[in-house]
Amino acid sequence: MSETRKSQAKILRIFRKIHRTTGAFLFVFFFIIAITGFLLGIKKHSGSMILPETKKGTSTELSSFIPLDSLQNNAVNFLSVYLNDKKKSEIDRIDVRPEKGMVKFTFKSHFYEVQLDGATGELLQIDTRRSDVVEKIHDGSIVDYYLGFQSGTFKLIYTSIMSFALLVFTITGFWLWYGPKKMRKS
């Protein structure tokens, strides 16, 4: 066996070991990312199981919408009654959809959304945003959420490790495919 071939075989063994060890260690995480990624990909086509259906309001004219602060107060009040909770929920995002005549409110402390008619302020829907839970599991921020880390430290570490691991898998996987071909040629 030539020196070049021995060297290529050694590199192939090293890459195979790295690939196998990394795969065994991170299998559960890759499985979770794959399942949650799939769920996020189909969320709008899940029949409201993952993401609530967007309802329609009475007017698509933005000029007829009542002020956002009034809509916000309505959303918080509707949610408080719905949850039978006297604490005021903190708004995370406000999604104004003029083409639907609707304004959607999401909250920081839980996974509900409130959809209001933009023109009347009336409640269109309160529903659970399972997609937000799935997204937090997908990117690791669920740990930050439950431990109360505002900085997103766990998410940063988790996504860095998983991104690097995917890069390692790509490189070692390519070499595991290409290496034997190269060896046969030499």
pLDDT tens string 24-66 = 888 999 999 999 999 999 999 999 999 999 999 999 999 999 9
What residue spans in the chain does CATH classification 3.10.450 cover? 52-128
CB-CB contact of 145 with 135 (8 Å): no
Residue with tokens 């690791």: 140
Confidence of residue 127 (pLDDT cuts 50, 70, 90): very high
For residue 72, what are the CA distances in angstroms to 61, 82, 156? Answer: 19, 15, 31
Q: 70, 106, 75: which is closest to 91 by C-alpha?
A: 106
Considering the entire predicted model, what is its pTM? 0.80
Is a pLDDT exceeding 90 seen at residue 12?
no
Residue with tokens 């988790």: 158
> Averaged over 2-7, what is the pLDDT?
78
Confidence of residue 181 (pLDDT cuts 50, 70, 90): confident
pLDDT in tens, 53-102: 999 999 999 999 999 999 999 999 999 999 998 778 899 999 999 999 99
Please tell me the predicted confidence (pLDDT) of residue 1: 57
- Which numeric CATH code is attached to 52-128? 3.10.450
